[in-house]
Structure 1
C-alpha cells in the first residue's frame, strides 16, 4: 500500500481541505521516503526527476501536488497530463486519481489504445482537468482532433525509463511540441538510461534530481553531462 502524508505534514505543506480529506479517506498516515523528498519540491513548482523503485509510493508523489495546483474544476481545458508506458499502469493511476482526488471535483479523461476513439473524442470535448494517457494513442487522438494541449500546466512522465525502452521517444517529442512553453514537469523513473538523461536536459527547466535506492553514479552521470541537476542523496 502506498502511504501518504501525516496530518502534521499536511498542515506544514499547506494543503487545501479537499486534498487533505482525500488523503485521510485513504487512511494514509506515514509518508514513504520518496514522498517526503518529492512532494515539497513539486509543491514549490520545481521540475523534478525522481528515481525510486516500483511500490515506493511514487503515485501519490505526483498526484497530491497536482490536486493542490489545479484546486478546482475548470472549463479552460486539460491542465494536467500524466503519461504512462502501459495500459495497465494508466488504469491503476486512474483508479488512484479517483480515490485520492475524490473531494476535489476534478474531471479525468483516459486515453488508451484499444478503447473506442469516439468515446475518447467525447471525453476530451467535455474539457477534463486531467488527461491520463499512453503516448501512442494520445498522439493519434491529438492529430485527429488537432489537439494543441496549450492549457496543460503540469506534466508527469510515469516510469519514464519504460516509456523510452518501449520506443515512445518520438511520440513524447510530438506531445511536448503541443504543450505551452511554461509548464511544470515531473519525471519518475527506476533507472536513468542515456536517452532519458538527454531528454531531461532538453525538456526540463533546472530539474532537481531526487534519488532513492540507486547507485550514486547515476547522479554523477547527470552532472557530467551538464544538466545542472542537484542530486539529493538518500537520507539527506
Structure 2
C-alpha cells in the first residue's frame, strides 16, 4: 500500500519526519491490515514494526469518536507505553485522536476517571488493563483493533495469560501480534480468537 492512500494529516506528518514511502515490511502488511486481516507479523528489530502499528491505527480510526477506545495496544511496561505514546503524538498531529497510557505505576482510581472522559487509543500493560477492566473502568465493546507490540514480553510474568483474557471479553475484533519470531505458544491463539489469521515472516 502506498502512502497516497493514507489520510492527509498522517501523510503530511510522515513526510515532515522524512518518511515519504513505505519500507519493505510496510509494503507487505499495511494493505492487509487496512483490509481488517488479523496477523502475526514476525520481523527483526528496526524493520518498522512500531511505525506500522502507528500508521495502521491512525489511518483506520481517522478521528475521535464517542468515549470508548477503538484500539488497544499491549506493551511490556511504562517505559514502552510512554515511548509509543510519544510516537503516536508525533504522527497524529492534525487529527483529534486521543491516546491514553495505562500502567502499574499510575494511580488506579485516577486512571479510571481519566478513561471515563474518553479516548480512542489505549496503550496498556496487560496486568493494569485487566485490573481496570474488572473494576468496570474501561469499555471494550467498541474495540476494533487489539495489538501486541514486541510480543516477546508475553512469556514473562504471566503476561500471556493476561492478554489471552481480553478476547474473552470483547466481540469481533482485528488482532495484530508483532514479534521478532513466532513462538509455539501463539498456536493457542490460532486455535481460538486468531483462527483466521495470517502469519507474515519477514527478514531484512
Partner of residue 92, structure 2? 101
5+ residue gaps in structure 1? 214-233
Q: How does 1:1-236 map to 2 (within 5 A)?
A: 9-11=2-4, 14-145=5-136, 147-180=138-171, 182-213=172-203
Give distance in 2, aligned partners of 1:53 and 1:166: 23
The offset of 1:186, in angstroms, is: 0.9
Alignment check: 8 A CA contact 1:85 1:166 kept: no
Count of aligned pairs: 204
* TM-score normalised per structure 1: 0.80
* TM-score normalised per structure 2: 0.92
Give distance in 2, aligned partners of 1:146 and 1:79: 15
Alignment check: 8 A CA contact 1:148 1:179 kept: no
The offset of 1:148, in angstroms, is: 4.0
Q: Please list the CA deviations of residues 119-175 of structure 1 after superposition, one character each: whole Å capped at 9, or x if unmatched.
A: 211221111001000000111111123534111111111112321334212211222
Alignment check: 8 A CA contact 2:116 2:138 kept: no
5+ residue gaps in structure 2? none
Task: Classify 1:166/1:196 alpha carbon distance in 2 versus 1 (closer, same or farther; 3 Å).
Answer: farther
Alignment check: 8 A CA contact 1:81 1:130 kept: yes
Give distance in 1, aligned partners of 2:104 and 2:53: 23
- Kindly indicate whether structure 1 or structure 2 has the higher relative contact order, using CA contacts under 8 Å at least 6 residues apart: 2
Report the secondary structure of 1:81's partner residue. strand
Give distance in 2, aligned partners of 1:106 and 1:171: 27
